Amino acid sequence: MKQTNIFQGCTLQCDVNIFQLNKSITISLVNINNELTDIVIQQPIDDCEPINLLGSSNTLKNISKWLSEIIQKQVCIISSVLIEFDGKTEIELLKHLHETIKQMQ
């Protein structure tokens, strides 16, 4: 379990599980109100459920940076991912992840 403080009062916890046929990252995001949201990123994408995030755009930028570091270390390779944020797709984070993935391929 890795922990990264992404802003005051918020802790991002990541538990990375890698299996021979299934690579997944489970992230728990706890905000200042101690509300917990689990983020599950799975490969292949067909098994991936929409990801829900709590927080501000600044939070998403930090998560994006942190996730791309994981990807660069090749702990988990993500082909594509859908992120729901306040009911909308978070384009900025998707683009950031997409660029990171493209650089790896």
**Tens of pLDDT along 48-75?**
343 434 444 455 555 666 565 655 554 4
The rounded distance, in Å, linking the Cα atoms of 24 and 8 is: 27
Average pLDDT of the chain is 46
Q: What is the pTM of this model?
A: 0.28
At 71 the three-state DSSP class reads helix
Within a 10 A sphere around the Cβ of 60, how many other Cβ atoms? 18
Concatenated DSSP letters for 5-35?
A: EEETTEEEEEEEEE-SS-EEEEEEEE-TT--
The rounded distance, in Å, linking the Cα atoms of 22 and 20 is: 6
Confidence of residue 35 (pLDDT cuts 50, 70, 90): low
